[in-house]
Structure formats: C-alpha cells, structure tokens
Amino acid sequence: MLARVEVADATDLSTLRELGVEILDDRPGPGFVAVLADPQSWSAVSATGFRVQVVTTNLQEALDEHRLQLDTRPPADVTDAFFDDFRDYDEVDGHLDTLAAARPDLVTVLDVGTSLEGRAIRGLSITAADADAPVVLINATQHAREWISTMTGICVADELVTRADEPTIADLLASVRFVVVPIVNPDGYVYTWSDDRFWRKNRRDGIGVDLNRNFSVAWGGPGASGDPDAGNYHGTAAFSEPESAALRDLALSFEHVAVHVDLHSFGQLVLRPWSYTAEPPPAAGDLKLLGDDAAEILTQAYGVQYQSIPGVELYPASGTAPDWAYGELGAMGLTFELRPDEVEMFELGFVLHPSQIEEVCLETMGAIEYLGAWAADAAPGDPGDSGDPTGGSTTTGGDGSSTGVGDPSSTTTGQDSGTTADAGTGDGGSNTSGSSVPPQTTGNSAGDSTGDEGGEQTDAQGEGCSCRTTDEPPPGWLWLGAFALLRRRNR
C-alpha cells in the first residue's frame, strides 16, 4: 500500500519508522509524507491516530501498468528519442559511448569502477579545457529506485555534448571539466528493473548498503543505521562498498573539484552541507548562495517549486557523498532532490511519468550551467583558498591525511577502520585540494543552520564575504535560467 501520513515533527517520523513503514520522500515537515506499508504496519499506523490518505491499495497494479508501458517502449537503439522514456542500465551505459563517439574532441569515457556484481560504473568527462580545469562532478543513482535522477544525469551529459557549440556552453567547456556518472549503483538499478521497483541500496549480500551513508565524513553518525535491514544502513566501514569507493577515487583523481552535485529524488529540494550536523559549515554563505540560486533556477524553468535548505534541516544524514566532497575536497557539495514533491495517485514518487524527463532535465541543466559558471571563476589559489577557516581543525577522512574545510572529525565515529582507506589509489592519488576552501569563500559564516528556507535572509554570509546578497540579482544566472525555459530539444 502506498499512502500519505501527516507528521508534525521528527518524533512522528521515527514513530512511523518504528511501526514498520518505509518513508519514501524527502519533504521538510510538518505535513504529509509518502509511505510504503504492508497490511500489518498499516493497521498499526491507523491505530496510532495519524491522519492518513491512501494513495493506492494496489501498488502492484500501478507498477505492472508502468512495466507494461516500459516493455513496449521503443528500445534506445531504434529511436532517436532517448529521453522520451526511462532507460535501463545497458541503454544508459551505451549512451555514454554514443556521446563520446559524437564528440571525441570533447568527451572521454571514464572507467570509474566495478560494482559488487561486476558491472561497470562508467562516466564521461566533457571539456575543452586544460587538465587542471576546475571540475563540476555530477553523479546520479546512488539510490537505485530514483530513476529520474539516472535519466537527468545522462540527459545533462547529453545536453552538454549536443549543445557544445552554443556560445554559452562552449564558454563553460573552455574553462570547466564536467564529469558525469549517471549510475553509481548499477547492481541496485538493474534490480529495480528486474525484481523490485522500490529497491534503494546496493546489493551487498542481497540486503544492501546505503551508498549515501558510506562516505567517510561523519560515517556512522546521526541518520545512518547500523542495522543491515535499514534503508539507511551505513555498511561495516566507510567506503566498504566498491561503488562509493569508486566515486571517491574518481573525485580524488582531479586536482580541483569545485562543485559536486548528487542527483536524487524526490522532494524538489536543493540541500547543502552539512547533512550530519546543525553546526554551520565554514562556507555557509557561499553554500547558501549557490543552493538558493540553484533552487531559484530550477523553479523558474517551469514554475515547479524547489526549496533550498541545509540537508540537516530535512533530517540528519551522516556519511553522505556531498558532505564528503565538501568536507574532504572543499567542493560545493549539493544534493538535488528532483521531482515530484509529493506522491499522488498518478505520480507514485519514484515512478514519475516519462513525459516529465525532458522538463526535469532542462530545469536541472539550467542550474548546472549556473554552477558551471561559478566553478569557472573558482580558480584554486584565489584569496581564501588557504586551508582551514574553522581555526585549524583537521578531518580524519578517507585517507586520514587531508584537511578539509570543516571539522567532521569531532562527531565522526569509527571512520575507515582501515578496510578501504586507500585514497592514494585513486588515479594516482593526485588530489591536492583536500586542504582547499571553496575559492570564493571568504570566511567562516555563522547563522546558516536554521530558519533560512525561502532564501530571504542575507545574514548568513560572514563578515567580509565578497559574495552577493540573496536579494541582489546575480549576474548571469537569470539569463541562464531563461535559456532553460526557452529551449526545446529536438532529437
């Protein structure tokens, strides 16, 4: 059964979890959350007095209908309309080769790693810039069931390649390297096509580890479970999983990852660090600026409302990929929770109608262009790029050697107990940006941890911050957003 349950606060959410339902969406409370429940847990929920709305008692029927539609769709190799429908692992993987073949001058296929079950995790590097250009790293499908993230990841890569000669994109590619990994969790993704549409984790021992709890910043902290059956099971150690280790090593292979975007669904949110603590991060002002602007661009494209908040305000989550990218690499680590914002009868959350793929892709692309433009200016070595603005704290992340921008070590438990602490194996281990602060950051900002949804406040930026205030129109991003609005793809 798929239903919505009204919750007032985090206590209600944990009560619901204890009653055995699975909470599906990422929505800031209070309000209705979407849940999957078996008959037993459903009677417990009803008996507890929650306000409920049943979406469907026959989820299987709805999924079967979707399945039928998927089975009869034109396969990727006989249609030009790749983004008219969802694509399976082989189709998405094959599209990487198609894009590389289309523009060998710009595109390189990256062998990122191999999943537990032996599938290739691959990505694309798309750039016309030098080897040391700042990187915008975009990944999707850490969570297997979030198919719209998969399609958006591959579609953003497609947009960058097929529009590479348009002046705005050409400018970006001249100074930024975009790296896109559309399927970080291939085993889980394949399993959602073959067996269980709502599978989330990887396939470790048939039970699974939540890859987005398996990174080393604050590994094992709040919002990550030690129970293998839990949806947010953190695994036996940070980077115990080949899939998260592969993403780590890819990121470490670049000199300067300026921005990291982790695509998820659903909830229509842009989440920024930290996810594991309400302590304000050192670059709170820049993070808020980028998150707010990205949400605004996502919203303006089609009028679909996205909200920008610190991840922890939604609920705490420890060991996430963007917290790691921020804490260890100094990258602006954002999570995009894509459409929809809630479960309805014909929008079953993760099961989005395929006609939405193109719009979600284009609204996301507007935000990626904006973040790319930001990264282009974020040359390492700018003032402020000189270490730890928190006052000398060091992290004890993946390799125990880098000093990140924050101080996650203070709340970190049992990171990297030696199992996979091999950051040096990442493509030469050439990352030198572990100590870098996001270059446009000018200081430690306070006051960004609570009550700043809506993006109205300007007080989150620390004194001396050179970045614009949120009520001052940013140069460039409005028209970048407008591009996303006006563009219609023709493929």
Q: Tell me which H or E stretch contains 190.
A: helix 186-194
Q: Rule CB under 6 A: is residue 311 a binding residue for ligand 0X9?
A: yes
Provide the minimum distance between the beta carbon of 324 and Zn ion in the complex, in angstroms, as a whole number. Answer: 15
166 tagged catalytic: no
Question: 89-102 and 147-162 are packed helices; what angle lies between their axes, rounded to 10 degrees?
Answer: 10
Pick the catalytic residue: 337, 342, 363, 369?
337
Residues 98-137 as x/- pattern, contact with Zn ion by CB under 5 A:
----------------------------------------
Question: 357-377 and 477-486 are packed helices; what angle lies between their axes, rounded to 10 degrees?
Answer: 160
Q: Rule CB under 6 A: is residue 368 a binding residue for ligand 0X9?
A: no
Among 95, 119, 143, 234, binds Zn ion (CB under 5 A): 143
Query: Are 366 and 166 within 8 A, CB to CB?
Result: no
Q: Which does 175 bind (CB under 5 to 8 A by kind): ligand 0X9, Zn ion, none?
A: none
Which amino acid, residue 151?
A: M
DSSP result, 97-154: HHHHHH-TTTEEEEEEEE-TTS-EEEEEEE-SS-TTS-EEEEEE-SSTT-HHHHHHHH
CA nearest to 291, candidates 264, 318, 273, 312? 273
Residues 262-321 that bind Zn ion (CB under 5 A): 264
CB atoms under 10 Å from CB of 202, counted, come to 30
CA nearest to 32, candidates 407, 346, 440, 344? 344
Q: Rule CB under 6 A: is residue 234 a binding residue for ligand 0X9?
A: no
Provide the minimum distance between the beta carbon of 134 and Zn ion in the complex, in angstroms, as a whole number. Answer: 26
Q: Rule CB under 6 A: is residue 250 a binding residue for ligand 0X9?
A: no
- C-alpha angle with apex 251: 109 to 103, nearest 5 degrees? 25
Stretch near ligand 0X9 under the rule CB under 6 A, chosen from 155-163, 178-186, 306-314, 439-447: 306-314
3-state secondary structure 207-226: CCCCHHHCCCCCCCCCCCEC
Closer of 249 and 337 to ligand 0X9 (Cβ): 337
26: left (phi over 0), alpha (psi -120 to 50) or beta: beta
Q: Rule CB under 6 A: is residue 320 a binding residue for ligand 0X9?
A: yes
Provide the minimum distance between the beta carbon of 271 and ligand 0X9 in the complex, in angstroms, as a whole number. Answer: 5
Closer of 76 and 314 to ligand 0X9 (Cβ): 314
Q: Rule CB under 6 A: is residue 26 a binding residue for ligand 0X9?
A: yes
Closer of 119 and 264 to ligand 0X9 (Cβ): 264
Residues identified as active-site: 337
The residues binding ligand 0X9 (CB under 6 A) are 26, 143, 146, 212, 264, 271, 275, 311-312, 314-315, 317, 320, 335, 337
The residues binding Zn ion (CB under 5 A) are 143, 146, 264
